[in-house]
A = this chain, B = another copy of it.
Amino acid sequence: MQDRHTGAIGVGVVGLGRAFMLMLADLENDPRFNLVAACDTRSSARESFSSQYAAPTYSTVKALADDPYVEVVYIASPHQLHKDHAIAALAAGKHVLIEKPIAIDLASSRAIIDAAVGSKGNVIVGPSHSFDPQIEACLQIIKSGKYGSLRMIRTNYYTDFMYRPRRPEELRTEEGGGVVFSQAAHQVDVVRLLAGGQTAQVYAHTGAWDRKRPSEGAYTALLKFENGISANLFYSGFAHYDTDEEFQWMSELGIKKDPAQYGAARRLLQTIDDKTEQRLKNLRAFGPDINSQSPAGNEHFGGLVLTFDQADIRVTPQALYIYEDEQIRTEPVLPAIAGRRGVLNALWALVKDGVSPVQDGRWGHATLEVCRGILTSGKSGDVQIMCEQVPVPGYPDVK
């Protein structure tokens, strides 16, 4: 067993699945963090973890949270388990980093918030793409007031999300499946951060058009904020077009895509049965056959344009293109390969300095309220009024 007491923050992982895989490289490469324990239902994943990190694995979250070397419990289990896992970790007085969405129903996210109130631990919900450095750069510009008030946000993403290998519950809305819980959670987080956080109204259309993949695979929504800012959201996880094309084939995860792989996800699905799909999904999780690619650029979440009084900003993972009154300025996004550094910085600040980021439990709850508003509005055709929103500290008044 390694020396688990290194001065770095000890992270205990709950759920060695796909989400953890996407954090793994950054956690490993960041000397501020140590992987000191894990919990998973798959014995192969537990064994791989143990041998790779010389660290114990536990069969319950409570046992993991009681490990004195665990300072942060990273909850990367399926959405519908977040509540129980977060409450167990908070009961042990540990900080928790919860993968988005915080939960799939508002009662669960409220329960997590309540558990944090009575705990020494705090909650961060992330990493969503609201932690990407280009979003932080935009927020700084908004706060500077340099271009007057922000008025409108337009964001869109075309992906093959619905045709990647999935567990059955990932295609059942009531269990947290479909793109609204998984993907709108990103888009709403980004948009709320840029617009000041306090969504007033949500109106949306949702689409579940593929009977073989029966959950909502696409949505489009208009969000109106208390300060009057308007946001236009579009997501299709049924898409053939791939927005990454607009970013020199840089993927959501900052990994270069090979355009020759066009259509691969659909092609693969047509040749396999449900059991093989499960196996492929597991291959994307942590285990003995890890196969991770290094990022070549920043993560992102599709097209994003901000409309200010005195400028428009077109946001890409590589640069901000700022269309001013007199000229177009290009600002490179730095760092250029940030990975998940944003959320890890936030986690460090929370544990070491007691400073919480915007994206805490209440924030995640408010984002979930908007996501659920998208689903409800899509079904009912009505405008949904939001009641549990929280502001971005220091956000300027819209004039």
Q: Given contacts A224-B205, A326-B263, is CB(A152)–CB(B218) below 8 Å?
A: yes
Q: Are B220 and A220 in contact (CB under 8 A)?
A: no
Q: Are A156 and B154 in contact (CB under 8 A)?
A: yes
Query: In the bound complex, do residue B222 and residue A325 qualify as a contact, i.e. CB atoms below 8 Å apart?
Result: no
Check A30 for interface membership: any CB of B closer than 8 A.
Answer: no
Shortest Cβ distance from A242 into B: residue: B323
Contact yes or no, A220 B382, CB < 8 A: no
Task: Report the stretch among A34-42, A76-84, A116-124, A232-240 that lies at the interface.
Answer: A232-240
The segment from A247-255, A293-301, A309-317, A354-362 that touches chain B is: A309-317
Flag whether A108 is at the interface (Cβ < 8 A): no
Q: Is A145 an interface residue (CB 8 A)?
A: no
Q: Which residues in B have their C-beta under 8 angstroms from that of A210?
A: 309
- A291 interfacial by beta-carbon distance below 8 Å: no
Other-chain contact of A383, B158, B224, B230, B382 (Cβ < 8 Å): B382
Q: Closest approach, in angstroms, between the C-beta of A319 and any C-beta of chain B?
A: 14
* Interface set, chain A 236-275, CB cutoff 8 A to B: 236, 238-242, 262-263, 266-267
Total copies of this chain within the assembly: 2
Contact between A224 and B381 (Cβ–Cβ < 8 Å)? Answer: yes
Q: Given A222-B220, A328-B262, answer yes or no on A236-B382 (Cβ-Cβ < 8 Å).
A: no
Q: A232-B220, A328-B262, A383-B383 are in contact. Are A241 and B323 (CB under 8 A)?
A: yes
Q: In the complex, which residues of chain B have a beta carbon less than 8 angstroms from the beta carbon of A383? A: 203, 381-383
A224 to B380, CA, bound (A): 12
Interface residues of A in 374-391 (CB under 8 A from B): 381-383
From B151, B240, B241, B266, contact of A207 by CB (8 A): B151
User: Which has the most chain B C-beta neighbours within 10 Å: A201, A242, A307, A326?
Assistant: A307
- With both chains docked as a complex, state the minimum distance between the C-beta of A320 and any C-beta of chain B, in angstroms: 12
* Chain B residues, Cβ within 8 Å of A382: 383
Known: A230-B220, A241-B305, A382-B383. A312 touches B207 (CB 8 A): no
Q: A154-B234, A327-B262 are in contact. Are A222 and B240 (CB under 8 A)?
A: no
The 4 A-B pairs at the shortest CB distance, nearest first, are namely: A240-B323, A241-B312, A205-B230, A241-B323
A residues neighboring B (CB under 8 Å)? 149, 151-152, 154, 156, 158, 201, 203-205, 207, 209-210, 218, 220-222, 224, 230, 232, 234, 236, 238-242, 262-263, 266-267, 305, 307, 309-312, 314, 321, 323-328, 381-383
26 A-B residue pairings within 8 Å (CB atoms):
A151-B218, A151-B238, A152-B218, A152-B236, A154-B156, A158-B312, A203-B383, A205-B222, A205-B224, A210-B309, A218-B307, A220-B222, A220-B232, A232-B234, A236-B312, A238-B307, A239-B323, A240-B310, A240-B325, A241-B312, A241-B323, A242-B323, A262-B327, A263-B325, A381-B383, A382-B383
